[in-house]
Amino acid sequence: MFIEIETTSDIPIYTQLVNQLIGLIAAGDLKPNEPLPSVRSLASDLGVNMHTVNKAYHELERKKILNIIPKSGAIVNDSKTPSEEQLSTIIQLLKPIIAEAIVYGVEEAKIMSIASSLISEFKEG
Amino acid sequence: MFIEIETTSDIPIYTQLVNQLIGLIAAGDLKPNEPLPSVRSLASDLGVNMHTVNKAYHELERKKILNIIPKSGAIVNDSKTPSEEQLSTIIQLLKPIIAEAIVYGVEEAKIMSIASSLISEFKEG
DNA sequence: CTTCTGTTATAATATCATTAGAACAGATTG
DNA sequence: CAATCTGTTCTAATGATATTATAACAGAAG
């Protein structure tokens, strides 16, 4: 489990966890139906509290990325087609960043090129 | 100044302000070299505290989007070409969202289409 | 049956976000 | 010049978050 937590970051630990787990799934390092480590073991590995990992897992469950089976564990959900809610989420998240890029003077073609590169980066693993 | 603050949102007020101001600049509603309202008047308009607006302005100055002239006011910076730092910022912000979209099963073409639409939305004003 | 799992509860600490009030000094304007 | 407006700085209080620490519980897995 290749996860690194920066305790000095202003990004909350559980958010760093959420983002990195999403990254691992997107890159195929964590596959659909694959079980995640228990909150206790991952917390121990990372040197953080059990509840912090638990919070990240539940955030991923809220996003419908994980399926948490009570008192058993969490497995990666298999999502072939995004729900309308998920599509809307992506658009809302993307909007302020696209705006920021435009304000910085990043040209449209450059924005598209960055997006394309990032997609390839994940898809290639 | 078309800004709406949702006090019930879990997004901090100053962050909402930052995002909406960036949106206004991207859409051309706020043009380069144009002065922003004083922290006191904008705070009064929005029904929030002066310090909250001040925090947003300084966050935008940190991003080099605003130029704050001490004891005078803030004006919109004219950025024609993004700095390396700004480009890096955009990439780092984009990365987790692209990953999330991929996990949701959003196809590459769809992601690109959303990005393109958002860019057009801003550029058209 | 023992161990592992997530769940729940309480509690303490630190940080952040927001508001309030006041005072100060430079900039602007009439 | 004098009055007003500006961002700046400071202290203070409040509420919400994030994180950690313990502990106990009940279902799952071996």
Domain ranges of chain B: 13-76, 84-123
Q: Is the dihedral angle over the CA atoms B91, B61, A92, A19 positive or is it negative?
A: positive
Q: Averaged over A79-95, what is the pLDDT?
A: 96
Residue of chain B whose Cα is closest to the Cα of A29: B103
| Mean pLDDT value across residues A94-113 | 98
Per-residue pLDDT of chain B (125 residues), as tens digits, is 799 999 999 999 999 999 999 999 999 999 999 999 999 999 999 999 999 999 999 999 999 999 999 999 999 999 999 999 999 999 999 999 999 999 999 999 999 999 999 999 999 87
Over range A64-68, report the average pLDDT: 97
User: What's residue B124's pLDDT?
Assistant: 86
* Rounded Cα–Cα distance for residues B4 and B25 (Å): 15
Q: Alpha-carbon distance A4 to A15, whole Å?
A: 12
Q: How far apart are CA B98 and CA B102, in angstroms?
A: 6
| Nearest by CB: B122 against A22, A81, A102 | A102
Q: Does domain A13-76 have CATH number 1.10.760.10?
A: no
Q: What average pLDDT does this structure show over A57-68? A: 97
In Å, what is the separation between the CA of B66 and the C1' of C19? 25
Alpha carbon distance A96, A93 (integer Å): 7
CB nearest B105 (choices: A80, A112, A116) = A80
User: What's the rounded Cα separation, in Å, for the pair B59 and A10?
Assistant: 14
SS (H, E, C) chain B: CCCCCCCCCCCCHHHHHHHHHHHHHHCCCCCCCCECCCHHHHHHHHCCCHHHHHHHHHHHHHCCCEEEECCCEEEECCCCCCCHHHHHHHHHHHHHHHHHHHHCCCCHHHHHHHHHHHHHHHHCC
In the prediction, which pLDDT does B125 show? 74
Mean pLDDT value across chain A: 96
By a Cβ cutoff of 8 Å, what residues of chain A touch chain B? 19, 22-23, 25-27, 63, 65, 79-83, 86-87, 89-91, 93-106, 108, 111-112, 114-116, 118-119, 122-123
* Contact flag B101-A90 (C-beta cutoff 8 Å): yes
